[in-house]
Structure 1
Amino acid sequence: MKATLFPPASMRRLLPEQKRRAAPWIVGLMTFVSLVVGVAGLAVLGAVSDLSSSAAGRWSLQVTGTPADAARAEAMLRSTPGVTEVNRVPDAELRRTLQAWLGPAAQQLDLPLPVLAEVSVVGGGDALATELARRVPTARLTPYSAELAPLLQTLRGLAVLVAGLLVVLAAALAGAVTLAARAMLDTNRSTLDVLHGIGATDAQLLSLVQRRIAFDVLAGSAAGALAAVAVLVAALIPARGLLGGAAGAPALAAGGLALLALLPLVQAVLATVVARRALQQALAQGL
């Protein structure tokens, strides 16, 4: 095994050194793209987690009836066990929202405004919503999670798309490295034929080509990872919420970042293994 991974220096000198090889550049580019896509996926998952946790236990009260209906609905909620908070939206704020849509006329028109309030409920709120609708027909209590469901579903779909892109990139990387390995065999066909003719085994020839491919893959992965880190740090430092979860922004999970840090190494190992299998098949078929 050691001889396969580390052939003697005397044999390594027999394989001409190629100064310009495409494999490191291809691997570096794909590693860069994979890391950027992976960080985007982590940001999406962080947004889903933050939105889901912030919506838990929060309900929206809407009363379209008379002020007496609103007062009865608020009184019922405040007296219900499990309701920890009822924050009514001021009418002035509703007027400002209307003004954004209707302009200055919103302050002059005598428009009926619904009563809106944010309600915090500990435990199940479905029964409370049903009871409130029974007692005050013009009142409606809806969970924030229901309002956010379409957005969360879209974000989860984006996360699945990111995972699929990472799989496609890994497959493309393995294919590119395999093509580079076969090209190296074709380039050094005459040298390998001579070595094979003087008694070199397939395992020894494989070790020569595989070692160079492995170094190309590792060098490209390292360069692509460093470039991705530099770009991501420069892009994310202004948006500190993504890094630290400040200001309610989605934070990148430390565990997810740790797994993402292993992505270049995993891709490099996968590409090397696939290239080794392709080289074994080529040598078995007589190059």
Structure 2
Amino acid sequence: MMAWLLPPPAMRRLLPDQRRRPAPWIVGLMTFVSLVVGAAGASVLGAVVELRDEAAGRWSLQVTGTSAEAARAEQLLRAASQVSAVERVPDKELRQTLRQWLGPAADTLDLPLPALADVTLRPGADGAALAARLERQVASARLTPYAAELKPLLATLGSLAILAIGLLVVLAIALAAAVTLAARATLDANRATLDVLHGIGATDRQLLGLVQRRIALDALMGSVAGALAAVVVVALALLPARGLLPGWQASAPLGLGELVLLVLLPLAQALLATLVARRALQHALAEVP
């Protein structure tokens, strides 16, 4: 494998060195963008899974009636076998939240505040049946799942993850097209040398391998450089963002599976570039009479 990538100096001198070859820049740029998009998409997908897991089994109790009705609703929930915990939200926290919207007037206005509580159900509990039974017994009580409240957010995050996957596909197609042009440009730039080699008996396979080595090395160097640049950007921009949502501080922004896929992505980009270049060179050599 190393002999294929690093031919002897005598063979490397057959093609003059071009300091401004486009292939490394193209592959490096595509790898950089693909890794950044892939890391962002994996983080968003992880956020969707984490939020869905956090919301599973958690419900919100709202009682708009009297304090007696609120106490009655809490008592019924605490006595239910499907409920594992009921945590009342203090009125002080409700006032603080209201103050963020109304300012100091929230302390002076005599506004009726609903009674709120966080309810945690046991695994396998039928929350819908519990909510219906609670509403029949306490008319002013409503028990709603967190998943329903987070559904618009989860849908938006899911769309962003799908968009990231679509961008990766588009980038792969763009890389294939750009490398095809770069391979043909390399072949045209060295056409005189290749014609001489062809005239003294070199086969198309030998010429293909000679040009393909250069494209493969350019793709490998470009993918490594793009990956290193992407790692710096991800470390500086994406990793600190995990603290934007509560509960993310103690969790890893990317799982082991996502990290493995991101590590393999530069190698996949280099392999794709090499295979596409080989195909383009085969067609170009077949067109030569």
Give the TM-score range, shorter chain.
over 0.9
Once the two structures are superposed, the pairs formed by residues 73-88 of structure 1 within 5 Å of their partners are 73-88=73-88
CA deviation after TM superposition for structure 1 residue 208, in Å: 0.9
1:98 and 2:98 aligned: yes
Query: What amino acid is aligned across from residue 22 of structure 2 in structure 1?
Result: A
Once the two structures are superposed, the pairs formed by residues 32-181 of structure 1 within 5 Å of their partners are 32-122=32-122, 123-181=125-183
Distance in 1 of aligned mates of 2:146 and 2:249: 19
The aligned counterpart of 2:253 is 251
Match of 1:262, SS state, is: helix
Once the two structures are superposed, the pairs formed by residues 1-20 of structure 1 within 5 Å of their partners are 9-20=9-20
CA contact (8 A) 2:44 2:160 kept: yes
Distance in 2 of aligned mates of 1:148 and 1:249: 20
Query: What amino acid is aligned across from residue 112 of structure 1 in structure 2?
Result: P
CA deviation after TM superposition for structure 1 residue 134, in Å: 1.0
In 2 relative to 1, CA 107–214 (structure 1 residues): closer, same or farther, beyond 3 Å?
same
CA contact (8 A) 1:47 1:250 kept: no
**What are the ranges of 5 or more consecutive residues in structure 2 without an aligned counterpart?**
none
CA contact (8 A) 1:74 1:86 kept: yes
Question: How many aligned positions are there?
Answer: 285
Query: What amino acid is aligned across from residue 247 of structure 1 in structure 2?
Result: Q
RMSD: 2.1
Query: What amino acid is aligned across from residue 197 of structure 1 in structure 2?
Result: G
In 2 relative to 1, CA 192–63 (structure 1 residues): closer, same or farther, beyond 3 Å?
same
TM-score (norm 1): 0.93
Distance in 2 of aligned mates of 1:239 and 1:202: 53
In 2 relative to 1, CA 85–269 (structure 1 residues): closer, same or farther, beyond 3 Å?
same
CA contact (8 A) 1:73 1:139 kept: yes
Query: What amino acid is aligned across from residue 146 of structure 1 in structure 2?
Result: A
CA contact (8 A) 2:239 2:253 kept: no
Query: What amino acid is aligned across from residue 97 of structure 1 in structure 2?
Result: T
CA deviation after TM superposition for structure 1 residue 13, in Å: 2.2
Distance in 1 of aligned mates of 2:98 and 2:4: 74
Match of 1:247, SS state, is: coil
Distance in 1 of aligned mates of 2:66 and 2:242: 45
- Between stretches 13-22 and 115-124, larger displacement belongs to 13-22
Distance in 2 of aligned mates of 1:106 and 1:78: 31
TM-score (norm 2): 0.92
- Between stretches 28-37 and 145-154, larger displacement belongs to 28-37
CA contact (8 A) 1:5 1:207 kept: no
The aligned counterpart of 1:223 is 225
Distance in 2 of aligned mates of 1:250 and 1:11: 48
- Between stretches 249-258 and 16-25, larger displacement belongs to 249-258
Q: Deviations over 1:216-273 (max 9, x none)?
A: 000100111111112322335645759xx75266621111011110000011101110
Distance in 2 of aligned mates of 1:46 and 1:207: 43
Q: Deviations over 1:37-84 (max 9, x none)?
A: 111011101111111111111000001111221111111101000211
CA contact (8 A) 2:69 2:140 kept: yes
CA contact (8 A) 1:241 1:249 kept: no
Distance in 2 of aligned mates of 1:19 and 1:78: 75
- Percent identity between matched residues is 69
1:196 and 2:193 aligned: no
- Between stretches 100-109 and 135-144, larger displacement belongs to 100-109
In 2 relative to 1, CA 235–103 (structure 1 residues): closer, same or farther, beyond 3 Å?
closer
Match of 2:18, SS state, is: coil
CA contact (8 A) 1:59 1:120 kept: yes
The aligned counterpart of 2:188 is 186
The aligned counterpart of 1:276 is 278
CA contact (8 A) 1:192 1:205 kept: yes
**What are the ranges of 5 or more consecutive residues in structure 1 without an aligned counterpart?**
none
Query: What amino acid is aligned across from residue 260 of structure 2 in structure 1?
Result: A
Query: What amino acid is aligned across from residue 252 of structure 1 in structure 2?
Result: L
Distance in 2 of aligned mates of 1:158 and 1:194: 53
